[in-house]
């Protein structure tokens, strides 16, 4: 996903720094992407409510002007509905005291109207605001309670406005003026536009037009020792939405952890709750609703090929159903033609789906706008094949796997016929439309692929990790074809070995500390010499020989790469390194989890320090790891610093907690059986895990204090 953070995306996907030097101090302000690291979120996809920590949303605007809300608001799908929702008592905002989330879909805020109640320092009147979110529904309950000696009379007020702004406008910092509701004067307000309908019910309230917003009020009298409550209920529907809410509960079994290391259980519990709330569905083959996990809040509550696949793959120890539904849905959209505008090609797996496309901004007069169905990704196709194979190994029903083998054959053919555009055995990408993403690997910002001197590489680019994915897709795809008696296995194994030899010949470079794989080959097929986390994705794919595995494992845990909270996207020794660089120095939890899984698959001793770093980061963010955070060394920053514009929760960041548990347990699935080989040295103490397993049959896993593991049927 591309998220320029506090920067703005240029037409090639490049990030432009919005900070000003002294000479530009009086330059006109440019729109800025909203920061969200200090906001409160209540979520049940596709509905999400972002507010200040005290629960308040937005600020009133002058008539005709854009409201000052940033991201804050009630969002549904790809539109913001309410941009203003502020609570008052007697025309004053109460003083905030506390806010906490019971679950990801429920939040409570407590405040004190200090002008009410008995005299003295002790608060005797308080306001509790409880927010509950379901898909397409937001309910807020306002309760004024009093322990004052006399009855308390006051007016409870809500200032409300809607702008119905598209998500790309909100993300770009532009917004739009408020939209007038229907029904002012009554207690039901309605907004409608382009298939979106929002209905706000305020039982018992009086509503008045305040010009730039609507004011709803209730007269309240609270007897001593009692409370009075009023409610708001917002329902939202969007007939043009590309995705919808799931109709059932999450299908995976509960996962429980009892461990001497008290960090494991709450991290896993919070992450699984966030993944539950990020679930969505879309219509796939035979018009069947298929479930997937949306990429992340707030900008990416939709289907993303790469993100949804990685998430489903990381969750395989918990459920294969999610992987199979995600695979079927993506196969339904698998490319059938060549189209430079959408980047579609026969056999290719898409990048993202939206209802109306997504604007990335302008540069040099060129508008970067992704179409509603966009295929600009180089890695989703091999990742699809890898996920199908892994789901099979974890026990997905054979008939469901077999149904997708034709799509597998098309995906493998795409790697040769289209992914390798110049026939040199390497997969490369280039944006042919001039309006899509300039970088199409997982690091898809415009400045992500840099040399050690800081200069940017030019497309077409062949990324290192993509070659590893392609090798794994071909070899594991061959295993599937052979297992189901279909032809082609020998062809793909032979092609994979040729790719492996070509990778070994062309990607290895050296710096002052020795050899490592370059991040990519550039337009002229020259190695882009830069040490990055991309090389960690090669582990476990089979593309490296043992010497290569040794080198990659050692380089990942060097002090220039391992921050203490995860693996940096770029070495601190590179000229372009920045701890808050989106893809050039920050730490991404999912990226570290992928490297960790590779180290565990290769049974490396480096697994332990990387696992400790990732667990420390997940714990520091209370089990809700953001999309990314700063790459500062733990020795200089004792807690990881937020990246202010990072999505949270984000699917693959949340799923990294499950991947972490699987990696440290050393899970090895083989259809009907599951083996464990706990990481050594084992540092988590006596640990019991239940709810993981193959073929939907959960098992109990025990690890002793000294690291001996065993499995028993439940």
Read off the pLDDT of each residue in 670-684 and give the average, rounded to a whole number.
95
Percent of the chain with pLDDT over 90: 87
- Tell me how far apart the alpha carbons of residues 385 and 309 are, in angstroms, rounded to a whole number: 10
Which of 407, 395, 394, 456 has the alpha carbon at shortest distance from 305? 407
Residue the block writes with tokens 């701890």? 579
Q: How many residues comprise the chain?
A: 714
- Tell me how far apart the alpha carbons of residues 352 and 296 are, in angstroms, rounded to a whole number: 12
Read off the pLDDT of each residue in 570-576 and give the average, rounded to a whole number.
97
User: For 163-213, where are the E strands, in sequence order?
Assistant: 188-193, 196-201, 206-209
Element spanning 307, H or E:
helix 305-314
Residue 114: how many other CB atoms lie within 10 Å? 12
Confidence category of residue 60, pLDDT binned at 50, 70, 90: confident
The whole-number pLDDT of residue 192 equals: 96
The answer to whether the beta carbons of residues 117 and 27 sit under 8 Å apart is: no
- Tell me how far apart the alpha carbons of residues 94 and 113 are, in angstroms, rounded to a whole number: 4
Question: 664-693: b or e for each residue (b if 16 or more CB lie within 10 Å)?
Answer: bbbbebeeeebebebbeebebeebebbbbb
Confidence category of residue 359, pLDDT binned at 50, 70, 90: confident
Which of 240, 231, 204, 224 has the alpha carbon at shortest distance from 152? 224
Residues 6+ apart with CB under 8 A from 704: 686
What CATH class is the domain 258-713?
mainly alpha
Q: Which two tokens stand for residue 59?
A: 């600020």
Q: Which backbone phi and psi does 537 adopt, to 5 degrees?
A: -70, -15
Residue 200: how many other CB atoms lie within 10 Å? 27
Q: Out of 2.70.98, 3.40.1000, 1.20.950, 3.90.1570, which CATH number does the structure's domain 47-238 have? A: 2.70.98
The larger pLDDT score, comparing residue 697 to residue 347, is at: 347
Angle formed by the axes of helices 405-414 and 464-483, to 10°? 140
430-462 residue pLDDT tens: 999 989 999 999 999 989 999 999 999 999 999
Instruction: Please give the mean pLDDT across all residues of the chain.
Output: 93
- Tell me how far apart the alpha carbons of residues 294 and 290 are, in angstroms, rounded to a whole number: 12
Angle formed by the axes of helices 607-620 and 651-665, to 10°? 140
Which of 75, 9, 88 has the alpha carbon at shortest distance from 39? 75
Strands 514-517 and 668-670: unpaired
The answer to whether the beta carbons of residues 126 and 222 sit under 8 Å apart is: no
Which of 457, 491, 454, 455 has the alpha carbon at shortest distance from 475? 491
Min mean pLDDT across 6-10, 484-488, 501-505, 590-594 is at 6-10
Which of 560, 569, 511 has the alpha carbon at shortest distance from 535? 569
- Tell me how far apart the alpha carbons of residues 678 and 673 are, in angstroms, rounded to a whole number: 16
Q: Is the pLDDT of residue 27 over 50?
A: no
The whole-number pLDDT of residue 285 equals: 85
Q: Which backbone phi and psi does 616 adopt, to 5 degrees?
A: -60, -40
The answer to whether the beta carbons of residues 465 and 534 sit under 8 Å apart is: yes
The answer to whether the beta carbons of residues 131 and 106 sit under 8 Å apart is: yes
Residues 6+ apart with CB under 8 A from 509: 515, 516, 517, 518, 527, 529
Q: Is the pLDDT of residue 362 over 90?
A: no
Cα 434 to its chain centre, rounded Å, is 26
Which of 256, 179, 258 has the alpha carbon at shortest distance from 214? 179
Confidence category of residue 20, pLDDT binned at 50, 70, 90: very low
Q: Is the pLDDT of residue 52 over 90?
A: yes
Strands 697-703 and 709-713: antiparallel
User: Residue 85, SS3?
Assistant: strand
C-alpha distances in Å from residue 519, one per residue of 216, 376, 382, 457, 623: 57, 19, 18, 10, 31
Give the long-range contacts of residues 609-614, CB within 8 A, separation 24 or more.
609/557, 609/562, 610/556, 610/557, 610/562, 610/566, 610/567, 611/660, 611/663, 611/664, 611/679, 612/683, 613/562, 613/563, 613/564, 613/565, 613/566, 613/567, 614/565, 614/566, 614/589, 614/656, 614/660
Instruction: Report DSSP state, residue 507.
Output: S
207-255 residue pLDDT tens: 999 989 999 999 999 999 999 999 999 999 999 999 999 988 888 888 9
Read off the pLDDT of each residue in 330-339 and give the average, rounded to a whole number.
98
Angle formed by the axes of helices 589-601 and 305-314, to 10°? 50
The whole-number pLDDT of residue 652 equals: 98
511 by Cβ neighbours in 10 Å (0-12 / 13-18 / 19+) ranks as middle
Write the DSSP string, 570-594. Answer: B-TTSTT--TT-TTTT-B-HHHHHH
The whole-number pLDDT of residue 26 equals: 41
- Tell me how far apart the alpha carbons of residues 54 and 39 are, in angstroms, rounded to a whole number: 9
291-304 residue pLDDT tens: 999 999 999 999 99
- The residues facing 9 across adjacent strands are 15
128-148 residue pLDDT tens: 999 999 999 999 999 999 999
305-317 residue pLDDT tens: 999 999 999 999 9
- The residues facing 219 across adjacent strands are 155
C-alpha distances in Å from residue 337, one per residue of 334, 384, 503: 10, 19, 29
C-alpha distances in Å from residue 398, one per residue of 318, 373, 427, 617: 18, 30, 30, 38
User: Residue 516, SS3?
Assistant: strand
Q: Is the pLDDT of residue 363 over 60?
A: no
254 by Cβ neighbours in 10 Å (0-12 / 13-18 / 19+) ranks as exposed
Cα 437 to its chain centre, rounded Å, is 18
The answer to whether the beta carbons of residues 315 and 323 sit under 8 Å apart is: yes
The whole-number pLDDT of residue 16 equals: 33
Q: Is the pLDDT of residue 68 over 70?
A: no
Q: Is the pLDDT of residue 482 over 60?
A: yes
Q: Which two tokens stand for residue 423?
A: 């026939």
The whole-number pLDDT of residue 216 equals: 98
177-212 residue pLDDT tens: 999 999 999 999 999 999 999 999 999 999 999 989
The whole-number pLDDT of residue 696 equals: 80
| Dihedral angle computed from the Cα positions of residues 389, 393, 398 and 402, in that order, rounded to the nearest 10 degrees | 10
Confidence category of residue 369, pLDDT binned at 50, 70, 90: confident
| Dihedral angle computed from the Cα positions of residues 361, 367, 371 and 377, in that order, rounded to the nearest 10 degrees | -70
The whole-number pLDDT of residue 65 equals: 66
The CATH 2.70.98 domain(s) of the chain lie at: 47-238
498-543 residue pLDDT tens: 999 999 999 999 999 999 999 999 999 999 999 999 999 999 999 9
Angle formed by the axes of helices 589-601 and 546-556, to 10°? 140
The CATH 1.50.10.10 domain(s) of the chain lie at: 258-713
- Tell me how far apart the alpha carbons of residues 225 and 142 are, in angstroms, rounded to a whole number: 17
Evaluate the CA torsion angle 172, 176, 181, 187 in order and state its sign: positive
Write the DSSP string, 430-470. Answer: --SSSSS-S--SSS-STT-SB-TTSPBP-SSBEEHHHHHHH
């Amino acid at each position: 996903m591309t998220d320029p953070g506090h920067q703005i995306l240029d037409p090639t996907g490049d990030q432009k720094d919005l900070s000003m030097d002294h000479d530009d101090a009086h330059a006109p302000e440019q729109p800025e992407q909203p920061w969200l690291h200090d906001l409160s979120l209540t979520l049940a996809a596709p509905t999400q409510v972002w507010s200040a920590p005290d629960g308040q949303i937005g600020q009133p605007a002058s008539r005709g002007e854009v409201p000052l809300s940033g991201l804050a608001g009630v969002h549904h799908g790809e539109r913001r509905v309410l941009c203003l929702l502020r609570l008052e008592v007697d025309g004053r905002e109460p003083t905030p005291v506390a806010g906490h989330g019971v679950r990801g879909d429920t939040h409570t805020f407590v405040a004190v109207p200090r002008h009410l109640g008995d005299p003295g320092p002790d608060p005797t009147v308080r306001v509790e605001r409880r927010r509950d979110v379901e898909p397409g529904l937001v309910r807020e309950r306002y309760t004024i309670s009093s322990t004052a000696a006399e009855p308390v009379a006051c007016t409870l007020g809500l200032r409300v406005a809607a702008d119905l702004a598209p998500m790309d406008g909100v993300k770009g910092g532009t917004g739009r003026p408020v939209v007038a509701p229907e029904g002012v004067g009554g207690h039901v307000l309605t907004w409608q536009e382009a298939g979106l309908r929002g209905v706000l019910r305020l039982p018992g309230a009086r509503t008045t037009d305040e010009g730039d917003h609507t004011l709803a009020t209730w007269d309240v009298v609270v007897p001593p020792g009692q409370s009075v409550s009023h409610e708001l209920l917002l329902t939202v529907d969007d007939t043009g939405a590309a995705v919808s809410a799931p109709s059932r509960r999450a299908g995976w079994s509960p996962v429980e952890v009892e461990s001497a290391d008290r960090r494991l259980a709450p991290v896993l519990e919070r992450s699984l709750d966030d993944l539950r709330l990020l679930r969505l569905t879309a219509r796939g083959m035979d018009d069947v609703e298929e479930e997937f996990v949306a990429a992340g809040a707030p900008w990416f509550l939709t289907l993303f090929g790469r993100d949804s696949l990685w998430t489903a793959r990381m969750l395989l120890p918990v459920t294969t159903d999610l992987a199979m539904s995600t695979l079927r849905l993506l196969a339904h959209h698998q490319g059938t033609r060549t189209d430079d505008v959408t980047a579609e090609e026969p056999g290719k797996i898409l990048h993202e789906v939206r209802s109306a496309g997504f604007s990335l901004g302008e540069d040099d007069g060129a508008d970067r706008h992704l179409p509603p169905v966009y295929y600009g990704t180089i890695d989703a196709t091999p990742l699809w094949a890898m996920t199908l194979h892994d789901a099979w190994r974890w026990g997905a029903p054979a008939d469901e796997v077999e149904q997708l083998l034709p799509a597998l054959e098309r995906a493998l053919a795409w790697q040769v016929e289209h992914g390798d555009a110049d026939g040199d055995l390497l997969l490369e990408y280039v944006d042919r439309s001039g309006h899509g993403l300039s970088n199409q690997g997982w690091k898809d910002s415009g400045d992500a692929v840099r040399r050690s001197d800081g200069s940017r590489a030019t497309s077409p680019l062949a990324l290192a990790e993509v070659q590893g994915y392609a090798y794994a897709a071909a070899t594991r795809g061959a295993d599937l074809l052979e297992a189901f008696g279909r032809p082609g296995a020998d062809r793909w194994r032979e092609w994979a070995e040729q790719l492996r030899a070509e990778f070994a010949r062309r990607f290895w470079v050296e710096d002052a500390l020795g050899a490592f794989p370059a991040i990519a080959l550039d337009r002229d097929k020259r190695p882009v010499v830069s040490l990055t986390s991309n090389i960690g994705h090669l582990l476990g794919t089979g593309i490296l020989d043992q010497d290569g595995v040794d080198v990659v494992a050692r380089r990942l845990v060097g002090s220039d790469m391992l921050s203490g909270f995860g693996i940096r996207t770029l070495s601190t020794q590179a000229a372009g390194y920045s701890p808050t660089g989106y893809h050039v120095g920050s730490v991404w939890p999912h990226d570290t989890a992928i490297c960790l899984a590779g180290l565990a698959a290769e049974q490396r001793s480096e697994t332990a320090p990387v696992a400790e770093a990732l667990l420390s980061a997940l714990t520091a963010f209370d089990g809700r790891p953001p999309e990314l955070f700063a790459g500062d060394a733990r020795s200089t920053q004792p807690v990881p610093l937020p990246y202010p514009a990072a999505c949270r929760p984000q699917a693959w960041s949340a799923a990294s907690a499950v991947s972490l548990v699987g990696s440290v347990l050393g899970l090895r699935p083989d259809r009907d059986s599951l083996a464990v080989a706990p990481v050594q040295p084992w540092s988590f103490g006596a640990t019991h895990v239940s709810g993981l397993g193959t073929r939907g049959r959960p098992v109990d896993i025990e690890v002793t204090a000294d690291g001996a593991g065993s499995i028993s049927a439940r």
